[in-house]
Amino acid sequence: MSAPRRLGLADPALLRTDGYIDGSWTASESGRRFDVVNPATGEMIAAVADMGGAETGRAVAAAAAALPAWRALTAKQRSVLLRRWYELMVQNAADLGAIVTAEMGKPLVEGRGEILAGAAYVEWFAEEAKRAYGETIPTHDPAMRLVVIKQPVGVVAAITPWNFPFATIARKAAPALAAGCTVVAKPAEDTPLSALALAELAGRAGLPDGVFNVVAASDPAPVGAELTAHPAVKKISFTGSTEVGKLLMGQAAGTVKKVALELGGNAPLIVFDDADVDAAVAQAIVSKFRNGGQTCVCANRILVQAGVYDEFVDRFCAAAAALNVGPGTDPGTDIGPLINSEALDKVQRLVDAAVAGGATARLGAAVHALGGTFYETTVLTGVTGDMDIAAEEVFGPVASILRFDTDDEAVAAANDTPYGLAAYFFTKDLARAWQVGEALEYGMVAVNSGLLMTELAPFGGVKESGIGREGGREGLEEFLETKYLAMGGLDGAGR
């Protein structure tokens, strides 16, 4: 049985297995392919063209050749094409969601949700393309006029992770294309199929050849080396681990490229004693266990004030125990598998070390009975800030709960990390909301909510969680250069 039929795709052409360079589906020069595997079943979904530095160089050359005509289009012309791309994403959301679930493992409802979230960024930036405003500056000389204009950066390399294989590509490509840049995308080796489906829809939407390219590879190192060294690439936009982000940043320094990095996180979720406990539990469950805990903004540490600690823990454990672990295609599944065996090993290592160090497993703490890379929904209490599980990004369905007494203690514990991506807290006190919100050293802070991502607002972190923002009006600025024009000889002399 063919893979498209096995995935239940209404449109089998969305499952592509070659790279997309200069508007054409392209095999690797070596002829090699690598397997994309369903983490829920271990079955091979597809064998994808395994590309390297040579193919990446060709993709960059295609993007550079397409750049002059693309940036010469009016913002409205680019907007129309991006709008078509968005509409195709929405029309094919069921198939695209099925591809996400197959290659990444998340429940189908989350897979389709990811498609709509990614598409929303394309819709937003289709409109923002028409708002890349410059300005005039009051002159210092009557014979001069001072003008600032915005121009596209140029060729952009977009390197994305496996946990949101569709949305992260869309979140980078949409503003880049809207600004007038061209793109070479390199998806994660575990999940290249979503990016290739996006390329299929880009062609159908009428994006010119070379404007959007996708290079897939089992080994990211040669591709990353080419993208960071190639002089035609003017910006690197990367989402992934802090370790790899630092490596790419160093490599990009050789040609002084612009970089935007959305890196690791260690998000605290703080519950103060005046919080609505029911709401805090419900939102903490969403924040912690969405995508099986495999998100950079999920609650990595849950800090609960002593006055409501016992009540919160009891209710949270009950809610967590009700979550269903299983294949993403099964109705009623809340948590799918971890992405691979390495991820499973990391989660088990952190849980075992925490329990050995004095934490209590109130729920789970072992590989699920389903086997494979499925892990039990886990809640640990008695966790302390010096444990590895409180310091490292867990990336699994494991909730670590810590107790605190004072506001200052909570803020100090929350900030005691090199990361600064997202933070959450729950309180009914308006003064506390402002004070804590301003004191938390994070790029994004949600108050009385466990979700904060939207195309309308800037997404990104501080400290070692990254540089730059995606989404909002700031997202377009990331792909624009500021040029100052000093225009003299305007006194009319000699007329």
Give first-to-last CA distance, the chain, whole Å: 80
pLDDT score for 1? 39
**Same domain, yes or no, for 256 and 271?**
no
Residue 248 lies in a domain: yes
Q: Which of 226, 262, 470, 477 is catalytic?
A: 262
**Same domain, yes or no, for 100 and 190?**
yes
Owning domain of residue 328: 267-447
Residue of 172, 213, 75 lying closest to 131 (CA atoms): 75
CATH number, domain with residue 407: 3.40.309.10
Residue 495 lies in a domain: no
> Does residue 127 surpass a pLDDT of 80?
yes
**Same domain, yes or no, for 357 and 381?**
yes
Q: CA torsion 56→62→63→68, rounded to 10°?
A: 160
CA pair distance 283, 462, nearest whole angstrom: 24
Which residue do the tokens 């049985």 mark? Answer: 1
User: Based on the number of CB atoms within 10 Å of its own CB, is 354 exposed (0-12), middle (13-18) or buried (19 or more)?
Assistant: buried
Residue 244 lies in a domain: yes
Where does a domain end: 227, 246, 263? 263
What pTM was computed for the model?
0.96
pLDDT score for 392? 96
pLDDT score for 492? 72
**Same domain, yes or no, for 17 and 96?**
yes
Tokens standing for 58? 């060709």
Count the residues in the chain.
495
Q: Which of 55, 123, 296, 393 is catalytic?
A: 296
**Same domain, yes or no, for 303 and 230?**
no
Quick: pLDDT tens for 56-68.
999 999 999 999 9
CA pair distance 38, 268, nearest whole angstrom: 31
> Does residue 5 surpass a pLDDT of 90?
no
CA distances from 343 to 163, 293, 365 (A): 12, 11, 14
pLDDT score for 185? 98
Residue 308 lies in a domain: yes
**Same domain, yes or no, for 367 and 434?**
yes
| Helical pair 93-104 and 75-91, crossing angle rounded to 10 deg | 70
**Same domain, yes or no, for 282 and 255?**
no
Where does a domain end: 263, 294, 319? 263
> Does residue 367 surpass a pLDDT of 90?
yes
Calculate what percentage of the chain has a pLDDT beyond 90.
97
Residue 491 lies in a domain: no
Q: How would residue 7 be classed by pLDDT, with cut points 50, 70 and 90?
A: confident
**Same domain, yes or no, for 241 and 288?**
no
> Does residue 193 surpass a pLDDT of 70?
yes
Where does a domain end: 447, 469, 487? 447
DSSP letter (8 states) at residue 276: -
pLDDT score for 491? 85
**Same domain, yes or no, for 147 and 289?**
no
- Answer for the pair 25, 197: CB distance below 8 angstroms, yes or no: no
> Does residue 155 surpass a pLDDT of 90?
yes
Residue of 422, 423, 421, 447 lying closest to 433 (CA atoms): 447
Quick: pLDDT tens for 257-279.
999 999 999 999 999 999 999 99
Residue 467 lies in a domain: no
pLDDT score for 493? 64
Q: For 164-174, what is the mean pLDDT?
A: 98
Q: For 30-50, what is the mean pLDDT?
A: 97
- Answer for the pair 491, 475: CB distance below 8 angstroms, yes or no: no
> Does residue 16 surpass a pLDDT of 80?
yes
User: Active site includes 296?
Assistant: yes
Residue of 85, 83, 120, 121 lying closest to 475 (CA atoms): 121
Q: Considering Cα of 109, then 335, then 451, then 448, what sign does the dihedral take?
A: positive
198-203: list long-range contacts, CB under 8 Å, 24+ apart.
198/89, 198/166, 198/169, 198/170, 198/173, 199/16, 199/20, 200/13, 200/14, 200/16, 200/20, 201/14, 201/85, 201/88, 201/89, 201/92, 202/20, 202/85, 203/20, 203/23
Residue 122 lies in a domain: yes
Q: Please count the structural domains in the chain.
A: 2
Tokens standing for 347? 């989660």
Q: For 8-30, what is the mean pLDDT?
A: 97
CATH number, domain with residue 119: 3.40.605.10
- Answer for the pair 93, 120: CB distance below 8 angstroms, yes or no: no
CA pair distance 79, 25, nearest whole angstrom: 25
Quick: pLDDT tens for 451-468.
999 999 999 999 999 999
**Same domain, yes or no, for 164 and 302?**
no
**Same domain, yes or no, for 182 and 316?**
no
**Same domain, yes or no, for 90 and 10?**
yes
Helix (H) or strand (E) segment spanning residue 24: strand 24-26
Residue 259 forms beta bridges with which residues?
236
- Answer for the pair 314, 328: CB distance below 8 angstroms, yes or no: no
Q: How would residue 3 be classed by pLDDT, with cut points 50, 70 and 90?
A: low
> Does residue 95 surpass a pLDDT of 70?
yes
User: Active site includes 438?
Assistant: no
Residue 364 lies in a domain: yes
CA distances from 277 to 379, 448, 451 (A): 17, 10, 17
User: What are the percentages of helix, strand and coil residues in the chain, rounded to 5?
Assistant: 40, 20, 35
The strand ranges marked E within 65-107 are none
